[in-house]
Each structure stands twice: as structure tokens, then as C-alpha cells.
């Protein structure tokens, strides 16, 4: 039951649609502007740096919380010793579930973000060394290409290798590989646009809320 509780609580935490809520607070349905995604990149493009950074930090915090704090709360609820050797299993369950909650939120008909910021929060608590490696790769590729999607897909692909290089267990290498694969899958539309030459480069932010407009096909 404690594993199920961890999974459910982490999913519900991840399912909080931060980008959607920030957009609504500004009178905008973020799903109807730009790329239609509720993640930090689309919020930043549509509503500006303050809104985008708020969503980025909040989504990352969800991921960190699900790994660093939620398992210990479950231990308290179920009377499990805090020093249990099974802590890593609870952290993995919490981390994977919070990303699934963000990507497939029950509050928006199971359509959510792409999980990059939330995954980064998970990794900061689970495999911080690997996160530093892929974050450095992300920054370099974004600076060279100005494509958020290229940087995100490459960093996701490199994640299990970064986990291996930083000396983590086979279990964590497999888990981070699954997380990377999920992130790449969520970018499949971006990959298609990259291949077609129609993907948009990041060119800055808007200074004021946009008019409601249909999202691109």
C-alpha cells in the first residue's frame, strides 16, 4: 500500500498544471496560443520571462519534492523507518510518477507538458551529477542552434549515459533511460517539424499577453 500511496500522491503532485494556471491568472488559455503546450517554454514565449520562469521553477520543484520529500512523508504515514534501505525504490516511484502526472495531467483530459523541467527537478534529487552533465549539454546545444527541442531531445538521449558516467547503479541507469525515452517521445511532434524544416527557433519573449489564436497544426 505504501508504494501505491507514493505513486498516487506523486502523480497528483505532478498533475498540477502550473503553466495552465499561470496563463489563466493572466486571462489566457495557454493551450490556445503558440505551440499549445502548457510547459515553461510556451509560457515564456507567450507571457514573458516572469511567467515563464515561474512555471519553470514550479514544475522543477514538483519533481524535486516527489523524490526528496514525498517518500519520507509516506514513511511517516505508514510507520516505515526513515533509514529503510528501500528508500531508493520509493524515490524512483515518486520521480517517475510525478513526471507522468505532469505529462498526462488528469485535470486537462490527460494532456500536459513534455516533462523537461519536472524531470530536471527529479534528477536534481536522484542523480545530481548526471543532471549537471546533461544541463551543460542542453545549454551548449541551445546556444548553438536556438532550438529548445534539439537541446531537450539531445539531453534526454544523453541522460542514461550521464548516469553511467557518474557511477550510479544499473537500476538508476535503466530508470533514467526510461525517463529520457519518455521525454523524447513527448517531443515527437517537434522532431517531425525539425525534419520538415518547420520547427521554430527561440527568438525571445513577448512584452504583453497575446491575443487568443489557434495553435499551429
Number of other CB atoms surrounding residue 141 within 10 Å: 18
> Residue 206: what pLDDT?
54
> Residue 127: what pLDDT?
96
**Under 8 Å between Cβ of 13 and 2:** no
DSSP secondary structure, 115-182, as one string: -HHHHHHHHHHH-HHHHHHHHHHHHHHHHHH--HHHHHHHHHHHHHHHHHHTT--HHHHHHHHHHHHH
Cell of 48: 514573458
**Residues of the chain scoring pLDDT < 70:** 204-217
Number of other CB atoms surrounding residue 25 within 10 Å: 11
Encode pLDDT of 168-190 as tens digits: 999 999 999 999 999 999 999 99
Domain boundaries, the chain: 1-126, 128-203
> Residue 204: what pLDDT?
64
For the chain, how big is the Rg over CA atoms in Å? 17
**Strands (E) located in 8-141:** none
Encode pLDDT of 133-176 as tens digits: 999 999 999 999 999 999 999 999 999 999 999 999 999 999 99
Amino acid at each position: 500500500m505504501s508504494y501505491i500511496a507514493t505513486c498516487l500522491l506523486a502523480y497528483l503532485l505532478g498533475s498540477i498544471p502550473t503553466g495552465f494556471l499561470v496563463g489563466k491568472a493572466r486571462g489566457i488559455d495557454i493551450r490556445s496560443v503558440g505551440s499549445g503546450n502548457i510547459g515553461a517554454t510556451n509560457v515564456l514565449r507567450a507571457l514573458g520571462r516572469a511567467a515563464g520562469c515561474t512555471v519553470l521553477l514550479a514544475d522543477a520543484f514538483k519533481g524535486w519534492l516527489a523524490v526528496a520529500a514525498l517518500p519520507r512523508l509516506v514513511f511517516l504515514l505508514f510507520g516505515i523507518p526513515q533509514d529503510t534501505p528501500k528508500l531508493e525504490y520509493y524515490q524512483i516511484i515518486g520521480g517517475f510518477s510525478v513526471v507522468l502526472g505532469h505529462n498526462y495531467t488528469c485535470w486537462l483530459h490527460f494532456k500536459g507538458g513534455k516533462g523537461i523541467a519536472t524531470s530536471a527537478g527529479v534528477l536534481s534529487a536522484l542523480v545530481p551529477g548526471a543532471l549537471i552533465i546533461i544541463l551543460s549539454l542542453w545549454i551548449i546545444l541551445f546556444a548553438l542552434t536556438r532550438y529548445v527541442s534539439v537541446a531537450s531531445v539531445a539531453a534526454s538521449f544523453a541522460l542514461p549515459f550521464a548516469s553511467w558516467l557518474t557511477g550510479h547503479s544499473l537500476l538508476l541507469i535503466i530508470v533514467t533511460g526510461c525517463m529520457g525515452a519518455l521525454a523524447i517521445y513527448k517531443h515527437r511532434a517537434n522532431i517531425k517539424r525539425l525534419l520538415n524544416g518547420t520547427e521554430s527557433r527561440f527568438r525571445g519573449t513577448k512584452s504583453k499577453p497575446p491575443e487568443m489564436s489557434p495553435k499551429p497544426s
